[in-house]
Amino acid sequence: MKYIIIAAIGALASILANKGIAVFNDGFRPIVPQYFDGQISRKELATMSFAISFGLVIGFGIPTSIAATIILIHCLLLTTDIIGTWCPDNNKGTIMAGVIGALYGLLILVGLDFVVTAFSYLPYNFLDALGSVSKYVTVAFAIFPALAVAYQHGFKKGAITAGIVVAVYFLIKKFGVITLGEGVSIALNGEGMAMLAGTIAMLAFAASVKGEAGTANTDLVNVFSEKVAKIRKNWFLLAIMGGLLACGTSMAMIAGDPISLALVSNGAISEAAMAAAARAIGFIPLVFTTAIVTGVYGPAGCTFVFVMGLLFFNNPLVAMIAGAAVMIIELLLINVFAKGMDKFPGVKDMGEHIRTSMNKVLEVALLVGAVASAEAMSAAVGLSGIGALFVIGCLLLNRVSKKPIVELAVGPVACILYGILINLLVVIQLVTLAA
């Protein structure tokens, strides 16, 4: 079944990109209408999609997927943006996009399985050590609401939120086991409860910012009503897309972001759902606003479809129905969102701060995890200390490079390179001993 789902995701996402209905890359979305308005050629559109997305696939999506053995959705949907736009804008091109997209989805799934199998044949299988790249994400991510509050409202309120998060974490860790009698007990999760407390504080601070009576977003919807109508006209295809993505997430085959991917790989499903929900809230302003202005939606919408997949984990059929329903609800709420943002500008602005804080926390957590992972590899072959040197060196060299890769990808990429280097050293050592 997983092969059917992944092929269907690749095919439909490529078709949506080919027809200009939905693209995944937020930076590419405003460019698509320029082609349909006759401002750029199809060749220029295709070239831009490749330039914007290919580096993220190679430098971010694939290394992150290998590290967790779960497909990060960026590997799929950024490439389907490229596939869809490179295929001609006609019926033949649409069919071609669907076929190539389906084959690419299968290639990614089979390729990831192949990589995992190939690791087992290495002189030193460093896949287990590579998995610890994400070991600190679970606990570190609980602090992201405090960072978001600090970005938006200043250090003092951020510190208050951080204090709440730490206090809740401590109390749950200390007293979070509830005994019900007859040997039955419930253990609350410290990281999850701390994140929930921080998120509530973050929403409370954002909602306290009231805006002056205005109609800026409402007017935006009225001006671009035709573009909103274009999106809603394709509700059925978008609903199917949402259902497929939720189904794939429920099967632990794909993940919507590196944070929930890392949490799922560690078995923290409820925390992954919470993290995915927080991220989706942060994407509402971006996705809805670009949708209103461009008439182009995202194949994953505001990414709540991934939340549905995690909420109904290991129940793919229900997840598929929930994902489709969520996508339809999103399309119906575009106008409501615009009017609500006029009344609560703090909530709208919060989205950008959520995304920024998530990235900052993830950068630190993945770097620390990468150092721990590289050190585990070093210890296994008697080279303690060199792993940390290698990862930190890669990070600093990347920062001064003329073409740096995405900072989030530095840790996983450095660990993969280090694992390959260690295997070379092991092979040299074996050859030397044999001689």
Average pLDDT of the chain to the nearest whole number: 84
Q: Are residues 248 and 120 in the same domain?
A: yes
152 shares a domain with 45:
no
At residue 275, the pLDDT reads: 82
For residue 345, pLDDT beyond 70: no
pLDDT the model gives residue 214:
56
Per the structure, the count of domains in the chain is 2
Both 197 and 234 in a single domain?
no
The residue among 319, 343, 367 that closes a domain is 343
Q: What is the mean pLDDT of residues 117-144?
A: 79
Percent of the residues in the chain that have a pLDDT greater than 90, as a whole number:
34
Same domain, yes or no, for 203 and 217? no
Two tokens, residue 271:
């925390």
Residue 221 — very low, low, confident or very high, per pLDDT cuts 50/70/90? low
Q: Which of 327, 343, 359 is the last residue of a domain?
A: 343
Mark whether 180 and 81 lie in a shared domain: no
Asked if the model's pLDDT at residue 333 lies above 80, the reply is yes
Band (pLDDT 50/70/90 cuts) for residue 183 is low
The verdict on 252 and 205 lying in the same domain is no
C-alpha 124: how far from its chain's center? Answer: 30
Q: pLDDT band for position 381 (50/70/90)?
A: confident
Judged by average pLDDT, the poorest of 209-223, 256-270, 290-304 is 209-223
Per-residue confidence (pLDDT) for residue 41, from 0 to 100: 86
Q: Rounded to an integer, what distance in angstroms lies between the CA atom of residue 276 and that of residue 279?
A: 5
Question: Do residues 329 and 377 both lie within one domain?
Answer: no
The predicted structure's pLDDT at residue 224: 59
Asked if residue 217 has pLDDT above 90, the reply is no
Average pLDDT over residues 60-75: 80
pLDDT confidence band for 408 (50 / 70 / 90) = confident
pLDDT at 219: 58
Q: Tell me how crowded residue 228 is: count the other CB atoms within 10 A of its CB.
A: 22
Which residue would you say has higher pLDDT here, 273 or 216? Answer: 273
310 & 388 share domain: no
For residues 115 and 260, state if they share a domain. Answer: yes
Provide mean pLDDT across the span 391-413: 86
Residue 402: the pLDDT is 87
Regarding whether 315 and 232 lie in a shared domain, the answer is yes
Whole-structure pTM value: 0.72
141 in the same domain as 197: yes
Is residue 89 scored above 80 in pLDDT?
yes
**Highest mean pLDDT of the ranges 178-182, 194-198, 221-225:** 194-198
Q: Domain containing 217: what range?
A: 2-124+212-343
| Per-range mean pLDDT, top range of 57-66, 136-145, 379-388 | 379-388
Q: Is 189 found in the same domain as 68?
A: no
Q: What is the pLDDT of residues 243-289, one digit of tens each?
A: 999 999 999 999 988 888 888 888 888 888 888 888 888 777 778 77
Domain's final residue, options 343, 365, 383: 343
Which of these ranges, 3-7, 153-157, 183-187, 266-270, has the smallest mean pLDDT? 183-187
- Model confidence at 342, pLDDT cuts 50, 70, 90, reads low
Per-residue model confidence (pLDDT) at position 185 = 60
In percent, the amount of the chain with pLDDT more than 70 equals 89
pLDDT at 220 over 80: no
Residue 116: its pLDDT value, please?
Answer: 73
Give me the pLDDT at residue 222, please. 60
The residue that leads in pLDDT, 263 or 62, is 263
